[in-house]
């Protein structure tokens, strides 16, 4: 069953809603996190508005898990289970986000972007935090730039595996969109 996401232009499947919602409910102990530090980031959820009709959600956890879900029901799941390179890139990305904790806003609702922005959500014992990244201005903020480069590295690793296995093409759309945005920025100087 497809339906419009609340206050959003995207038509989404039940699978997308369920998997995205479940990602926000994961607790650190379920991933083997033993730290009781309230600010430790153990998961990152990145919503990317790819086109007016396509929304992608990258989900990475401290244990190296990395999955991508699309509003149309498509997904790339369990890639890190069978590929240590993807797991390492995903884990490194999550660990590298710790310096963004203080600049992220604490949130209690998790909307998806309706424009070209990317919403980056951080899962912590102390609750969920969020940073909004505009790819067009990402170079103006060092924290945003590091996050942007980090989640694109995960997407590229996933894309490379899928290109090798030739199973799905959707992650390529995200990478192409990001590359186009980055290329456009370079020509505007």
Domain that holds residue 67: 2-179
Q: How many degrees, rounded to 5, is the angle at CA 43 between CA 37 and CA 46?
A: 140
CATH of the domain at 62: 3.30.1560
Q: How far apart are CA 58 and CA 39, in angstroms?
A: 21
The answer as to whether 131 is a domain residue is yes
The answer as to whether 184 is a domain residue is no
How many structural domains is the chain composed of? 1
The answer as to whether 189 is a domain residue is no
The answer as to whether 45 is a domain residue is yes
pLDDT digits (tens), the chain, 189 positions: 444 345 567 888 889 999 999 999 999 989 888 877 889 999 999 999 888 888 999 999 999 999 999 999 988 888 888 889 999 999 999 999 999 999 999 999 998 888 889 999 999 989 999 999 999 999 999 999 999 999 999 999 998 876 655 544 455 555 554 444 444 444 444
CB 119 within 8 A of CB 132: yes
Q: What is the pTM of this model?
A: 0.82
The answer as to whether 47 is a domain residue is yes
Strand order in the sheet with 118-124: 75-76, 66-70, 55-61, 41-49, 118-124, 127-133, 105-107
């Amino acid at each position: 069953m497809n339906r419009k996401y609340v206050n959003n232009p995207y038509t989404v499947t039940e699978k997308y809603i369920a998997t995205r919602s479940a990602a926000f409910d994961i607790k650190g102990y379920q991933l083997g996190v033993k730290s009781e530090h309230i600010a430790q980031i153990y998961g990152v959820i990145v919503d990317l508005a790819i086109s007016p009709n396509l929304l992608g959600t990258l989900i990475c956890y401290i244990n190296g898990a990395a999955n991508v879900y699309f509003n149309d029901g498509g997904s790339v799941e369990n890639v890190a289970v069978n590929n240590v390179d993807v797991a390492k890139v995903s884990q490194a990305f999550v660990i590298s986000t710790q310096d963004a904790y203080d600049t992220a806003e604490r949130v209690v609702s998790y909307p998806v972007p309706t424009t070209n922005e990317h919403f980056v959500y951080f899962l912590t014992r102390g609750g969920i935090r969020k940073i909004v990244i505009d790819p067009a201005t990402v170079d103006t903020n060092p924290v945003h730039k590091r996050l942007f480069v980090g989640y694109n590295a995960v997407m590229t690793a996933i894309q490379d595996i899928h290109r090798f296995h030739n199973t799905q093409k959707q992650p390529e759309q995200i990478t192409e969109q990001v590359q186009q945005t980055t290329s456009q920025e370079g020509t505007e100087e």
